[in-house]
Amino acid sequence: MTVVISAAGVLSPIGNTTAEFHQELFTGTTGVGWLKRPDFPADFPIHYFAALRPFSAPEASVLTSPYIKATLNLLAQIAPAISPEIGIDAIVSAHRDAGDLNFGGLCLRAGRHEPEFDEVLVKDRPLALAASFLKQFKGISVPESRRVWISNACTSANDSLAYAFQRIREGIWQRALILSLELEVSPLQMTSLHLLGALAEGTDAPSTVSRPFDKRRKGFVKGEGAAVFLLESEKAAHSRGIKPLARIVGFGASTDGYRLTEGRPDAKGIMHAMGRALVDAGLSAGQVDCISAHATSTPIGDVLEAKGIEEVFGDYAKQLPVTALKSITGHATAACGALETLAAAGMLSAQRIYPIQNLDDPDPLVRLALVRGAPLPKTMNFIMINSLGFGGQNCSLLLGKAE
């Protein structure tokens, strides 16, 4: 059964509607700015952050947790696509567990000296909120056992899409709502990433710092992002007269099994995920028209991914356009795949590829057809989206043009 993305909503550093997000991809805008948050001290060693553009939340959201506000905003965005007559079989969510590192930050930010329980325990909140929203406003019940929370670091979002994709393709579910959220950052969490050597440092202009595949890249810029997708069978979407945003046609997953924070030097993990995605979709490498790379802008990670792409696509890699959204949005970790999937849907619809920002001097170790400068018009049917996670998880999702 063909599976489609029939509706979506987004909150991101470059736009808070799908239309705005898709438009900004091609304008050269970047969402990376200075880290300006009251809970961060002036001497904090990291200066960059890709914050969401300001967004409103429905009045009902009296709680201050950004996860709750963002979830309600996303649900409001997608609500018009959900009618009370249809069923939603499941809600699948990729969101970070707001743990104790974040906990300390929340308290500091608010200048409090006591923890506030409601803000801390957002564990299942996005799922519970979405279920309650569907019940209250659409009369649709989703049992607790069908509220699936996936936590696979930076592959979480696309693993969530893949989880639902498989079940809809098999006819087990007809329709699912997919939520991905990565919000907030605390000084403790940021320090933790900094000590791992993952973040870009310095005082250069923020818009120039996230530079995947560029020789001067020096780490990623932590970002925020959130998205919601309605996935359903193509037949179900067409029967409702809906023109889908894109089709999901295949995916592949693997684990490096090498080190917790470092990819395999032979790139076999990401190669296996890409290869499996092609097999799953029944496509040959030559049918892929563009790759949305994970490319966080770290010195090692970008080269390993490029090596994997070269190995899987062979000579064709020299002409296969590769782009990298994190140059525009920063790295929304658990939600990055959701933003990249939405961006890929926008590229398939517009039939052009957004350029990688700040790619002034491509790394000679990266022998790919990197898209830089201006948007690249191209006839495209299929885009591959790679997600790689701390811990060694790899996920490749294949998106097809809507028919």
Partner 1 sequence: MGEFFSTDQRKFDIRLEEVSAVGIYSAIFPPAKGQVIALTDEELGGCSSLADLRLHRILGRSGLLLLSLFPELSAGLSRRKHSSWRVGIYGSAVRGPTSMPLIRSAFQSGTIDFSENVRRIISPKQNFREGINYPVAQLAIALNVNGPTGTFPSLRFGAEHAIEAAWMDFRNGSLDAAIIFASCTLENPVVNQAMLAAFGPRGLVESASALLVDSETECAKLAQHIQVQASQREVAGGAEVLRRAAGCL
**128 part of the interface to partner 1, by CB under 8 A:** no
Q: Do 324 and 343 touch, CB atoms closer than 8 A?
A: no
For the question of residue 22 being annotated catalytic, the response is no
Q: Is 193 helix (H, G, I), strand (E, B) or coil?
A: helix
User: How many residues belong to the chain?
Assistant: 403
Q: Which of residues 131-190 bind partner 1 (CB under 8 A)?
A: 144-145, 147-153, 159, 163, 166-167, 170, 187-188
Q: Do 30 and 328 touch, CB atoms closer than 8 A?
A: yes
Q: Which of residues 325-384 bind partner 1 (CB under 8 A)?
A: none
Task: Give alpha helix (H) positions in 123-254.
Answer: 125-138, 156-169, 187-195, 234-239
Please give the structure tokens belonging to residue 316: 């064709």
**101 part of the interface to partner 1, by CB under 8 A:** yes
Q: Do 356 and 323 touch, CB atoms closer than 8 A?
A: yes
The torsion angles phi and psi of 127, rounded to 5 degrees, stand at -65, -45
Q: How far is the CB of 195 from partner 1 (least distance, A)?
A: 4
Active-site annotation holder among 107, 154, 290, 395:
154
Instruction: Tell me how many residues contact partner 1 (CB under 8 A).
Output: 66
**104 part of the interface to partner 1, by CB under 8 A:** yes
Q: How far is the CB of 123 from partner 1 (least distance, A)?
A: 5
- Sheet of 369-370: strand order equals 147-150, 90-95, 175-182, 225-233, 3-11, 246-255, 393-401, 382-388, 290-292, 321-323, 369-370
Nearer to partner 1, 334 or 380 (CB): 334
Question: CB neighbours (10 Å) of residue 176?
Answer: 25
Stretch that binds partner 1, among 16-24, 74-82, 107-115, 367-375 (CB under 8 A): 107-115
**393 part of the interface to partner 1, by CB under 8 A:** yes
**298 part of the interface to partner 1, by CB under 8 A:** no
Q: Do 335 and 226 touch, CB atoms closer than 8 A?
A: yes
For the question of residue 154 being annotated catalytic, the response is yes
Q: How far is the CB of 393 from partner 1 (least distance, A)?
A: 6
Q: How far is the CB of 384 from partner 1 (least distance, A)?
A: 17
Q: Which of 171, 260, 284, 364 binds partner 1 (CB under 8 A)?
A: 260
Question: 392's torsion region: left (phi>0), alpha (psi -120 to 50) or beta?
Answer: left
**47 part of the interface to partner 1, by CB under 8 A:** no
DSSP 256-272: --S-SSS--TT-HHHHH
Q: Do 94 and 334 touch, CB atoms closer than 8 A?
A: yes
Q: Which of 36, 85, 113, 203 binds partner 1 (CB under 8 A)?
A: 113
Nearer to partner 1, 110 or 350 (CB): 110
Q: How far is the CB of 161 from partner 1 (least distance, A)?
A: 13
Give the rounded distance of the alpha carbon of 82 from its chain centre. 23
Active-site annotation holder among 290, 294, 336, 395:
294
- Give the residue numbers marked as catalytic: 154, 294, 331
Q: Binding residues for partner 1, per CB under 8 A?
A: 38-41, 43-45, 97, 99-101, 103-105, 107-108, 111, 113-115, 117, 120-121, 123-124, 144-145, 147-153, 159, 163, 166-167, 170, 187-188, 191-193, 195-196, 252-260, 268-269, 272, 276, 279-280, 389-393
